[in-house]
Amino acid sequence: HRMILYHGSNVEVRLPRILTTNRSLDFGAGFYTTSSLNQAERWAQLQTRRRGSGRATVSVYDMDESAFDSLSLLRFKEANAAWLDFVVENRKSLYKGELYDLVIGPVANDRTMSVINDYMNDQIDRETALILLEPQNLSDQYRFGTERALRHLACKEVMFLD
């Protein structure tokens, strides 16, 4: 079974790499993709605006889902307590657990970011954070954390949004 994943950026990425410069992302250092074209397009536009260079670009990848069997995989089905703790530990660069080949789970959006920040700053407790996160219909993110995982991504096309 094949799946399509998207990466939004201000540049085309035909050969994905793992950048360790910004490790305080939701799922730690790695190459991030999503199964949502809409999410990738929004991210591409945001990145292009933020960086003030390049053009909004979505790189499209093909992946065989059977690859999951050969990779160490951490999957969060929803924005639950385990997901919240994992995101907070990664954002604070405190995560010391296993470095998974691939982590799959919800992506924090504009609405959920403020909830996560309030929780990280001890302005709300965990229970309140989870209640506020529950109704959000979040897109997914796939974080490729190792070269072993990246080998399973094949770039199919690059789309320029402007």
Residue 37 amino acid letter: L
Contacts of 81 (CB under 8 A, 6+ apart): 126, 130
Q: What is the pTM of this model?
A: 0.91
For residue range 18-29, list pLDDT tens digits in order. 977 666 789 999
Residue-level pLDDT at 23: 66
Please give the mean pLDDT across all residues of the chain: 92
Six token digits for residue 13 = 């990425």
